[in-house]
Amino acid sequence: VRYNAEEKSQSLDKAGILNKAKVADNGKRMRKNWASSWTVLQGGILTFYKDPKNQSAGTLKQGAGQFVSEHTVELKGASIGWAAKDKSSKKNVLELKTRRGSEYLIQYDTESVIGDWYKTISESINHQVDT
Ligand code: I3S
């Protein structure tokens, strides 16, 4: 089977566990609430899944082992960079701002892990520019 460039861009880019906090929704500041999240970057969309431990009884009824998405972030027109020191006392914090004015802090203690996410998300943002 042969794949063209567009099909390739739809393949799985990266997945893993990160700490994230949404701090703004459509330009409106919101209370920071850090949670660890299974995170998938695929086809220009970053999806944060709820920690199964924190899912309510209602969502757990859907069946054990099912992940429920919490936030879906369109990377087209987004920007990412290292967060300023006043954004968090944690180390290795990235700040992701969407075109629609939502903001997320993304953090992981291991520098190489967060560095890889920074690279992959940046590349995906740049790729979305031409699509
Ligand atoms: O920017 P803030 O308000 O200092 O963020 C802290 C709060 O989200 C805090 O929760 P409470 O508002 O329930 O106290 C969190 O426990 C802290 O982790 C947040 O600060 P850091 O520096 O960890 O992002």
> In this predicted complex, what is the ipTM?
0.88
Residue nearest to atom 12 of ligand 1 (CA): 32
Note the pLDDT tens digit of each residue in 77-113.
Answer: 999 999 999 999 999 999 999 999 999 999 999 999 9
- For ligand 1, whether the C-beta of 3 sits within 6 Å is no
Residue 7 CA, ligand 1 centroid: distance in Å: 41
d(CA 19, CA 54): 14
**Rounded to the nearest 5 degrees, what angle is found at the Cα of 22, between the Cα atoms of 19 and 25?**
165
- For ligand 1, whether the C-beta of 88 sits within 6 Å is yes
Note the pLDDT tens digit of each residue in 32-59.
Answer: 999 999 999 999 999 999 876 666 655 5
d(CA 130, CA 93): 28
Q: Could you count the other beta carbons within 10 Å of the beta carbon of residue 64?
A: 7
